Amino acid sequence: MRVKLLFIGDIVGAPGRKAVKQLLPGLREKHGVDVVIANGENAAGGNGITPVKAAEIYSAGVDIITTGDHLWDQKEVIDLLNAEARFLRPLNYPPGTPGQGSLVLERAGQPTLGVMNLQGRTFMKELENPFHAAREEIKRLQSRATVIFVDIHAEATSEKIALARMLDGQASAVVGTHTHVQTADEQIFPGGTAFLCDAGFTGPHDSVIGREVEPVVARFLTNQPQRFNVARGRVLLQGVVIDIDGANGRATSIERLSEPLSKG
């Protein structure tokens, strides 16, 4: 039994949500996708996520939403953390933090899937050590799931690669998020773990990582605060499709996606 998993890179604002809604059905059919996971931490106006925006993403066909360092940007997120079983925050928050950092998805006719969400520490606000958190949690997930997917939301490429190398042969796939720049290093490690350093982002690419160009440039020129509105032009859905052998959890193929949304 095999499982095809589609992971969608960071959804940015209304353009990103629109791309998911319009493009996901076709991608499911084209690639024979069984499960869809998406990082939604920028889904609400480019900053954070709310129950309303999460519901829009779920209704478009996404099964599980992961997050990252913008988790707390919208106060309404607490309702997702407390009540939504398909919603993940980074695992390596301190004990007692609302929400969950991993989950197990069971469906008839499909291998049991474990999903883990982590946040890096290099050049980011420090949480607990994601390497220690991953090492402990992977054991728990392995006792319940054959296929395990990890979203590592981190700035440094070295941190993402090192974590994936540590989990080689234990996780089916480790994919990075956060930089909003899709990398071209997709590969399958010797132990069968698929890896991509960054899945990119889903939203407007005539921009600076999803935001209007002028205020970002002004910020760099003047060092003064600016309002970073979500841009609009050249909307892409970026992510990765991974084919996994459900019998042993090893990835057999990994393919980057960068699908344009038509202007109609």
- pLDDT under 70: residue ranges of the chain: 264
- Predicted pLDDT of residue 167: 98
DSSP collapsed to 3 states, the chain:
CEEEEEEECEEEHHHHHHHHHHHHHHHHHHHCCCEEEEECCECCCCCCCCHHHHHHHHHCCCCEEECCCCHHHCCCHHHHHHHCCCECCCCCCCCCCCCCCEEEECCCCCCCEEEEEEECCCCCCCCCCHHHHHHHHHHHHHCCCCEEEEEEECCCHHHHHHHHHHCECCECEEEEECCCCCCCCCEECCCCCEEECCCCEEEECCCECCECHHHHHHHHHHCCCCCCCECCCCEEEEEEEEEEECCCCCEEEEEEEEEECCCC
CATH number of the domain enclosing 182: 3.60.21.10
Q: Identify whether the C-beta of residue 236 lies closer than 8 Å to the C-beta of residue 178.
A: no
Q: What is the pTM of this model?
A: 0.96
Q: Count up the domains in the chain and report the number.
A: 1
Reply yes or no on whether 70 is catalytic. Answer: yes
- Predicted pLDDT of residue 177: 98
Q: Which one from 70, 178, 180, 205 is the annotated catalytic residue? A: 70
- Predicted pLDDT of residue 207: 97
Which residues constitute the domain of residue 69?
A: 2-260
- Predicted pLDDT of residue 109: 87
